[in-house]
Amino acid sequence: MSGEKATEKLQIGDPRLVVRWTRRYARSRTISFLVQWVVIVFMILVIGLAANLTNTAHRTGSMGLFGLSIGLMALSVLGLAWFSLSRWSGELIWNITQWLYGGEGYAAFAGPSGHKTLPLWLTALGGGLVVYHLVIAMLVSFNYVSLRSMQPFSAAYMAPYLMILIVYQGLGFWAWIWPALYALHAVLLLAGAPIRFPAHFPLLDMIVPVFGYGLVAILAGHAYSRYALWNLKRVTRTVLPEFPTDADGDAETGGGAGDCAHE
């Protein structure tokens, strides 16, 4: 019986297949995340550069370089906060996303909560994420925390935050790749696994995991959205011919379904 039910669920012509693949496609549209990823990566790189300059200025006693690095870090944080909260940035992401998707139109999944916007408490957690990393960057700048130990500190906040965000928004399986790999990377570092970059590039120990795993998740979601869209097109193209017997009766009584089926 279970095998027959599984066959019935996958049978072409079942309208539930259209709903299923539409939902899966909507949950896996990740181009908007990719656009945000590019902008945030750039801003975080600037913050990381500023933190590195602050560290250098602190060790060499250069007050001019110290002031420049602090100013650069402050401007970067303000820019990141503005991008996160500005309505203009949201419209920019929307326009770029629609342009990249081309003729696919618009699809969105509201998630289990049914709300399109994030609640205040979740937005506050996102703000806390920025402040948390800013504090870590300052601790690194003054040698209280090693730059090579920054990633596990980051994962302690970022991984749970991403998981909460994924559950609330009802994102697809692809989204779990990011926090899972990021947390695993932190555990491996603490266990002494040889996964660090050369000592001359300590910043890569932070940059590559946080954004590399994010990019892997986004690309995985995009690849799955292509698969879901292909299945959705296949299902919708074959759903009408599945009703030839009912169509004849409808045609006699003026039903539109029969006309569509015979076209």
Which residues, other chains included, contact 217 with Cβ-Cβ below 8 Å and sequence gap of 6+?
Answer: 30, 174, 175, 176, 177, 178, 181
Distance between CA atoms of residues 78 and 149, nearest Å: 25
Of 21-25, 115-119, 137-141, where does mean pLDDT reach its minimum? Answer: 115-119
**Assigned domain for 261 exists:** no
Q: What's the pLDDT score for residue 93?
A: 81
d(CA 76, CA 39): 12
Residue type, 217: A
Residue 51, pLDDT score: 72
The residue with greater pLDDT, 262 or 97, is 97
Inside any domain, residue 6? no
Q: Could you report the per-residue pLDDT of 154-210, keeping only the tens digit for each?
A: 999 999 999 998 998 888 899 999 999 999 999 999 999 999 888 787 778 888 898
Confidence of residue 247 (pLDDT cuts 50, 70, 90): very low
224 pLDDT band, cuts 50/70/90, is very high
State the amino acid at position 181 in one-letter form. L
* 7 has pLDDT over 70: no
Residue 11: pLDDT band (50, 70, 90) is low
Look at residue 217 in the predicted model and tell me its pLDDT: 94
- Characterize 223-247 residue by residue with b for buried, 16 or more Cβ atoms within 10 angstroms of its Cβ, and e for exposed: ebbeebbebbeebeeeeeeeeeeeb
Q: List the one residue out of 181, 52, 36 whose CA is nearest residue 100.
A: 36
**Half-sphere exposure for 93 (CA within 13 Å, toward CB):** 19
Residue 8 has pLDDT above 50, yes or no: no
Q: Does residue 7 lie within any of the structural domains?
A: no
> What's residue 239's pLDDT?
62
Q: Given a cut of 70, is residue 212 above it in pLDDT?
A: yes
- Tell me how many domains the chain contains: 1
Over 60: is that where the pLDDT of 1 sits? Answer: no
Provide the residue range defining the domain that includes 155: 19-239
The answer to the question of residue 107 being in a domain is yes
Whole-number pLDDT of residue 138: 79
Choice between 49 and 195, residue whose per-residue pLDDT is larger: 195
- Among 44, 52, 93, which Cα is nearest to 69's? 52
Could you tell me which residues come within 8 angstroms of residue 35 by beta carbon, excluding any fewer than 6 positions away? Answer: 93, 96, 97, 100
State the average pLDDT over residues 140-158: 85
pLDDT at 113 over 80: no
Structural domain contains residue 168: yes
Asked, for residue 248, whether it belongs to a domain, the answer is no
Specify if 49 maps to a domain: yes
Band the pLDDT of 263: cuts 50, 70, 90. very low
Q: What is the mean pLDDT of residues 229-241?
A: 78
pTM reported for the whole predicted model = 0.71
CA distance 151 to 182: 9
d(CA 259, CA 247): 8
Q: What is the residue type of 214? A: G
In a domain, 11, yes or no: no
Angle (CA) 153 147 195, round 5°: 80
Among 89, 204, 230, which residue's Cα sits nearest to residue 148? 204
Provide the token pair at 141: 């700048």
Neighbours of 261 (CB within 10 A): 18
**Angle of helix 204-238 versus helix 150-169 axis, rounded to 10:** 20
